[in-house]
Structure 1
Amino acid sequence: MSLAGKTLFITGASRGIGREIALKAAQDGANIVIAAKSTEEHPKLGGSIFTVAQEVEEAGGKALAIQLDVRDQHAVAQAMQQAAEYFGGIDILINNAGAIKLSGVEMLDPNRFDLMYQINTRAVMVCSQAVLPYLKKSENPHILNLSPPLNLDEKWFASYAPYTITKYGMSMLTIGMSQEFANYGVSVNSLWPRTIIATAAIEFSLGGKQLFSRARKPNIMADAAYQILINERRSITGRLMIDEDILKASGVTDFSEYRYADTDDELMVDLFVQE
Structure 2
Amino acid sequence: MNRLEGKTALITGASRGIGLAMAQRFAAEGARLILVASRMGSHGRLPGTLESAVEGIRRAGGEAHAVVCNLSDADARADLIARAQRQVGPLDILVNNAAGAKMGLPSQVSADDRRWMMELNLNAPIDLAQQALPGMRERGAGWILNISSATSEQPLVPYRDSAVAAHVIAAYGATKAALNRYTEGLAHEVAGEGVWVNSLAPESIVLTPGAEQVRDIARRHPDMAESVEVMVEAALLLCTGRYVGQIAYSRRLLHANGQDVYSLDGSTRLGDALMPAEIDADRNTTDKESEQ
- Shorter-normalised TM range: 0.7 to 0.9
Unaligned runs of 5+ in 1: 264-275
Match of 2:231 in 1: 221
What whole-Å deviation, never above 9, does each CA across 1:192-215 have from its counterpart, x for those lacking one?
Answer: 1112112478x38xx443234332
Report the TM-score, using the length of structure 2 for normalisation. 0.79
Match of 1:245 in 2: 252
**Is 1:210 the equivalent of 2:216?**
yes
Match of 1:146 in 2: 147
| C-alpha distance in structure 2 between counterparts of 1:80 and 1:190, whole Å | 20
Match of 1:164 in 2: 173
Match of 1:131 in 2: 132
What whole-Å deviation, never above 9, does each CA across 1:98-118 have from its counterpart, x for those lacking one?
Answer: 111342232212211111111
- Larger RCO, structure (CA 8 Å, separation 6 or more): 2
Q: Which of the numbers 176, 184, 194 marks the counterpart of 1:175?
A: 184
| C-alpha distance in structure 1 between counterparts of 2:276 and 2:119, whole Å | 31
Q: CA RMSD in A?
A: 2.7
Q: Is the 8 A contact 2:140 2:195 kept in 1?
A: no
Q: Which amino acid in 2 is paired with 1:220?
A: V
Q: Are residues 218 and 186 of structure 1, via their aligned partners in 2, closer, same or farther at CA, if it must alter by over 3 Å?
A: same
Q: Is the 8 A contact 1:33 1:83 kept in 2?
A: yes
- Structure (1/2) with the larger strand percentage: 2
Q: Which amino acid in 1 is paired with 2:251?
A: E
| C-alpha distance in structure 1 between counterparts of 2:76 and 2:44, whole Å | 26
Q: Is the 8 A contact 1:56 1:62 kept in 2?
A: yes
Where 2:90 maps in the other structure, the secondary structure is: coil
Q: Which of the numbers 245, 260, 268 marks the counterpart of 2:278?
A: 260
Q: Are residues 15 and 138 of structure 1, via their aligned partners in 2, closer, same or farther at CA, if it must alter by over 3 Å?
A: farther
| C-alpha distance in structure 1 between counterparts of 2:156 and 2:174, whole Å | 12
Where 2:198 maps in the other structure, the secondary structure is: strand
Match of 1:268 in 2: none
What whole-Å deviation, never above 9, does each CA across 1:145-180 have from its counterpart, x for those lacking one?
Answer: 111476467869855432221110110111011022
Q: Is the 8 A contact 1:80 1:130 kept in 2?
A: yes
C-alpha displacement of 1:254 = 3.5
| C-alpha distance in structure 2 between counterparts of 1:33 and 1:57, whole Å | 12
Match of 2:264 in 1: none
C-alpha displacement of 1:89 = 0.5
| C-alpha distance in structure 2 between counterparts of 1:258 and 1:30, whole Å | 28
Q: Which amino acid in 1 is paired with 2:278?
A: Y
Percent identity of equivalent pairs: 28
Where 2:227 maps in the other structure, the secondary structure is: coil
Match of 1:80 in 2: 81
Where 1:18 maps in the other structure, the secondary structure is: helix
What whole-Å deviation, never above 9, does each CA across 1:234-269 have from its counterpart, x for those lacking one?
Answer: x31111011112222134364576613269xxxxxx
Q: Which amino acid in 1 is paired with 2:199?
A: S
- Superposed counterparts of 1:194-209, under 5 Å: 194-199=203-208, 203=211, 207-209=213-215
Query: In terms of mean alpha carbon deviation, does 149-158 or 176-185 score higher?
Result: 149-158
| C-alpha distance in structure 1 between counterparts of 2:180 and 2:245, whole Å | 9
| C-alpha distance in structure 2 between counterparts of 1:135 and 1:237, whole Å | 15
Q: Which amino acid in 2 is paired with 1:224?
A: A
Where 2:95 maps in the other structure, the secondary structure is: strand
Query: In terms of mean alpha carbon deviation, does 111-120 or 177-186 score higher?
Result: 177-186
Match of 1:11 in 2: 12
Report the TM-score, using the length of structure 1 for normalisation. 0.83
Unaligned runs of 5+ in 2: 160-165, 261-270, 282-292
Match of 1:271 in 2: none
Q: Which of the numbers 194, 217, 235 marks the counterpart of 1:185?
A: 194
